[in-house]
Structure 1
Amino acid sequence: MHTDLVAALDIGGTKIAGALVDGHGRILLRAQRPTPAQEHGDIVIRAVEAVLGELTASPLWSRVTAVGIGSAGPVDASAGTVSPVNVPGWRDFPLVERVRAVTDGLPVELIGDGVAITAAEHWQGAARGHDNALCMVVSTGVGGGLVLGGKLHPGPTGNSGHIGHISVDLDGDLCPCGSRGCVERIASGPNIARRAIEGGWQPGPEGDASAAAVAAAARAGDPVATASFERAAQALAAGIAATATLVEIDIAVIGGGVGKAGEVLFAPLRAALRDYATLSFVQRLTVTPAQMGTDAGLVGAASAALSRRPTNTVVVG
């Protein structure tokens, strides 16, 4: 039995999580720091180094053979750099080089956070057993990743499957990315809430104007809240159908905060998918909620590190 471990980092705008993970995807040790997202880039990397410091101090560290990083993007795996939208101090930041420096030169695999979550869902979650899958994170933003031919498909820079920035409305709102009518501009949590408020939906007495509050209102029958979720579902369906038509996926997995809305999202999404996924080879496409929860980023980063090491095997089971 292989006893090698990998270190995993999950880097987002809110927290930097680290773990030591075995070949079955079991987390043996955790460390975490808040992301000082608005600080200078050197302060952000110090938080990453503090997480790694906790991991390297463990007696288990001697068994670590590689490091996997799933980071908010854009990332550039070919250059080893990251430029997360929500961490302005990091622009073309040489993250791989800096992580290698504090881990005694171990091999480092960098992928985008959407790709990391895809790796986790394919290894142990809702996409397990599917050779061709799209996994999406629908929360503050909309990200994703692809499994093609049974393998994670991160693409040359680690961003492949970034469905949030497919345009589904040619004359739609300008997206912060510079394009128009992107899936993210319609289906992300803040945009679901914005549209509901613009339509006259009133937050409750506590003033909760989140997408979760809109989902609760939709469940209670509020027509404006329901319409905002239906519009988000339509955008997601168009993006998923376009992806399926291009690369013949047979399952789309949806995670993130908005993915937790349940049938308020999934019922109109399945209905809209029938309107967009019309060709014979995409009609069997299924859509399902993600299963991996908050550890998906870590497990996926570990999976990427394990699968790129020729001496290691990812153990399914």
Structure 2
Amino acid sequence: MTHDLTRDVVPGLDSVLAVDIGGTKFAVGLVDAQGQVIVADRVATPPGGDASTLRKALDGLIDSVLARRPDANLVGVGVGCGGPMTWPEGAVSPLNIPGWRGFPLRARLAERFPGMPVRVHNDAICVAAAEHWQGAGQGSDNMLGMVVSTGVGGGLILGGRLIDGGTGNAGHIGHVVVDPDGPACRCGGRGCLEAISRGPGLAAWALEQGWAPGATGARPEGLYVEAAQANGRQLSADAAAGDPIALGALARAGRALGIGIASATHLCDLDVVTIGGGLSQAGPLLFEPLEEALRAHARLDFARRVRVVPAHLGQDAGLIGAAALILLPARYWTGPA
């Protein structure tokens, strides 16, 4: 079953202020009712910044974007932010931003933009919403959108609607256990998909195996947005140049992803899984071992139909998904208005 999302867009809107907050960058943009980014700007997340420094950086970025379109008819604020957070209240404690612990992000933005809806959700969930609305998941009512980068996150669409779960954390596939005897995870568990497949962890594993970054003479070509992905970028470049350890690292990540996706598909009867984030830029070196593991474990007839595809929207996905919280509340928002 498919659904025409265009008829659900809130009519008469000009633009949404969309915010995408991650451990390595802040992004702010204006997104129109058709899901097009009108203008956007990005800055590096202040390293080691305290709550005040981080807020000033975000406010300055918002000021910069609004100054570029002073005629914009702003109708709401949508935010994607790394977790964990309390949802839908929007008090955030991103693992990769230690200066914000219990920071009342939604409340602070609501003070700045009184009378407007301000909605905050997990950044990976916003990416999933974006890919469902405007990207690789269009036409599917049952999909999992994944981000494989400094962490592994996801958002779940079932029956054409975003599934939040009891605390807003449904779709958190990064903490599905794919190897009970695997490496320790930042969540306190062991063998989580994130512990194996996230870029920094993968690079660390390769170094333990004797990988010498850049020894092949390969140089990355700037495909990654986040500076923190430099090691993962070099790992992918070395794998493309034939380095056996780098190739083994990407195969390891792909196998873990395939196993996790097989489990999610059996549980949720998915049509499609989209994968974005820095590591997805490795292409077939990641997706081929992923497919092999997926097909080895997704053996029931209904699970075999699932497709795994690269995400389409790139660095704009977080902004488009954040805007979707405002523009398509019937599909992507179940919290208070």
- TM-score over 0.5 for the alignment? yes
**1:55-90 CA distances to partner (integer Å, 9 max, x unpaired)?**
4554334x2221100011112222221100111111
- Indicate the residue corresponding to 2:113 in structure 1: 103
Q: Match for residue 147 of structure 1?
A: 157
Partners of 1:202 and 1:96 lie apart in 2 by: 44
TM-score normalized by structure 1?
Answer: 0.91
Residue in 2 aligned with 1:42? Answer: 52
Residue in structure 1 matched with residue 89 of structure 2 by the alignment: 79
Task: Give the letter aligned to residue 124 of structure 2.
Answer: G
Instruction: Tell me if the contact between 2:13 and 2:75 (Cα under 8 Å) persists in the aligned partners.
Output: no
Q: Which amino acid letter does the alignment assign opposite residue 139 of structure 2?
A: G
Q: Find 1:246's aligned residue among 258, 263, 267.
A: 267
Matches within 5 A, 1:249-288: 249-288=270-309
Counterpart position of 1:30: 40
Aligned-partner residue type, residue 162 of structure 2: L
Per-residue CA deviation, residues 36-59 of structure 1 (Å, 9 max, x unaligned), is 241211221122222233345543
- Cα deviation 1:155-205 (Å, max 9, x = unaligned): 344332111111111122211110110101111111222222222222225
Alignment partners' CA distance in 2, 1:31 and 1:231: 35
* Aligned residue in 2 for 1:314: none
Question: Out of 52, 60, 82, which is 2:71 matched to?
Answer: 60
8 Å Cα contact 2:16/2:77 also seen in 1 = yes
Alignment of 1:195-210 (within 5 A): 195-205=205-215, 210=231
Identity of aligned pairs, percent?
Answer: 47
Name which of structure 1's ranges 148-157 and 263-272 shifts more when overlaid on structure 2: 148-157
**Match of residue 181 from structure 1:** 191
Question: 1:238 Cα shift?
Answer: 1.3
Q: Which amino acid aligns with 1:305?
A: I
Q: Deviations over 1:124-149 (max 9, x none)?
A: 11111111111111111111111111
- Select 1:225's aligned residue among 216, 227, 246: 246
What letter is aligned with 1:187?
S
Equivalent AA in structure 2 for residue 67 of structure 1:
V
SS in 1 for 2:296: helix
In the alignment, the residues of structure 1 paired with residue 117 and residue 111 of structure 2 have an alpha-carbon distance, to the nearest angstrom, of 11
**Unpaired segments ≥5 residues, structure 2:** 1-10, 220-229, 332-337
Separation (CA, whole Å) in 2 of partners of 1:219 and 1:36: 32
Kept after mapping to 2: 8 A contact 1:146/1:152: yes
Number of residue-to-residue matches in the alignment: 309
Aligned-pair CA distance for 1:108: 0.9
**Contact 1:75–1:159 under 8 Å retained in 2:** no
Counterpart of 1:143, as a letter, is: G
Q: Specify the alignment match of 1:302 in structure 2.
A: 323
Deviation at 1:153, TM superposition (A): 2.1
| CA distance in structure 2 between the partners assigned to 1:31 and 1:215 by the alignment | 27
Aligned partner letter, 1:228: A
Which blocks of at least 5 consecutive residues in structure 1 are unaligned? 311-317
Which one-letter code corresponds to 2:77 in the other structure?
Answer: V
Q: Distance in 2 between matches of 1:246 and 1:222?
A: 37
Letter in 2 for 1:306: L
TM-score (norm 2): 0.86
Deviation at 1:242, TM superposition (A): 1.1
Q: Is 1:120 aligned to 2:130, yes or no?
A: yes
Instruction: Give the distance between the partners of 1:101 and 1:56, measured in 2 at CA.
Output: 17
1:81 alignment partner AA = A
User: 1 CA distance for matches of 2:77 and 2:16?
Assistant: 6
1:4 maps to what in 2? 14
> Which residue is equivalent to 1:170?
180
Per the alignment, in what secondary structure is the counterpart of residue 264 of structure 1? helix
**1:17 maps onto 2:27 in alignment:** yes
* Counterpart code for 2:60: A
Select between 218-227 and 88-97 the one with higher mean Cα deviation.
218-227
